Amino acid sequence: MTEQTYDNFADHYNFAYLDEQTKRMIRRAILKAIAVPGYQVPFASREMPMPYGWGTGGVQVTAAIIGANDVLKMIDQGSDDTTNAVALRGFFVKTTGVEATTKTSEATIIQTRHRIPEEPLKANQTLVYQVPIPEPLRKLEPRETETRKMHALEEYGLMHVKLYEDIAKYGEIATTYAYPVLVNDRYVMDPSPIPKFDNPKMHEMEALQLFGAGREKRIYAVPPHTKVESLDFEDYPFEIQKFEEPCALCGAENVYLDEVILDDKGARMFVCSDSDFCEDRRENGHVGHMAANPITESENRGADA
Partner 1 sequence: MTTPSLGLQKAPAPGLKNPVHDAQKIFKVAMNALARPGSLQEMPELGLEVPAPLTQTVAALALTLLDYDTPVYLDPALAQEVDVVDYLRFHTGAPIVALASDAAFALISDPAKMSAISGFAVGTDEYPDRSTTLLIAVDDMTNTSGATLSGPGIKTETEFDAAPLSPAFWPQMIANQTLYPLGVDVLFASPTHVAGLPRSSKISMKEAR
Task: Cite the active site residues.
Answer: 38, 247, 250, 272, 278
Q: Which of 122, 167, 175, 224 binds partner 1 (CB under 8 A)?
A: 224
Among 52, 71, 122, 223, binds partner 1 (CB under 8 A): 223
Q: Is 128 in the site for partner 1 (CB under 8 A)?
A: no
Nearest to 163 by CA among 179, 143, 184, 182: 179
CB of 85 to partner 1, least distance (A): 24
Give the residue with the Cβ less far from partner 1, 98 or 271: 98
Quick note: the x/- pattern for Zn ion over 237-276, rule CB under 5 A, is ----------x-xx-x-------------------x----
Q: Is 119 in the site for partner 1 (CB under 8 A)?
A: no
Task: Single out the residue of 89, 151, 196, 281 in contact with partner 1 (rule: CB under 8 A).
Answer: 151
* Total site size for Zn ion, rule CB under 5 A: 6
Out of Zn ion, partner 1, none, what residue 23 binds, judged by CB under 5 to 8 A for its kind, is partner 1
Instruction: Restricting to residues 179-198, name those near partner 1 by CB under 8 A.
Output: 184, 186-187
The CB density around residue 229, as the number of other CB atoms within 10 Å, is: 16
Q: Which does 272 bind (CB under 5 to 8 A by kind): Zn ion, partner 1, none?
A: Zn ion
DSSP the chain: --HHHHTTTTTT--TTSS-HHHHHHHHHHHHHHHHSTT--EE--PPP-SS-GGGTHHHHHHHHHH--TT-EEEEEETTBS-SHHHHHHHHHHHHHH--EE-S-GGG-SEEEEES---SSPP-TT-EEEEE-S---TTTTT---HHHHHHHHHTT--HHHHHHHHHHHHHHSS----BS--EEETTTEEE---S-BGGGHHHHTT-SSEEEEEETTTTEEEEE-TT--EEE---SSS-------SS--TTT---SS-EEEEE-STT--EEEEES-HHHHHHHHHTT---TTTT----HHHHHHTT-
The answer to whether residue 225 forms part of the interface with partner 1 (CB under 8 A) is yes
* Interactions with partner 1, residue window 7-66 (CB under 8 A): 14-15, 20-21, 23-25, 27-37, 39, 41-42, 64-66
Q: Which is nearer to Zn ion, 121 or 247 (CB)?
A: 247
Residues forming the site for Zn ion (CB under 5 A): 247, 249-250, 252, 272, 278
Residues forming the site for partner 1 (CB under 8 A): 3, 14-15, 20-21, 23-25, 27-37, 39, 41-42, 64-68, 148-149, 151-153, 184, 186-187, 208, 221-227
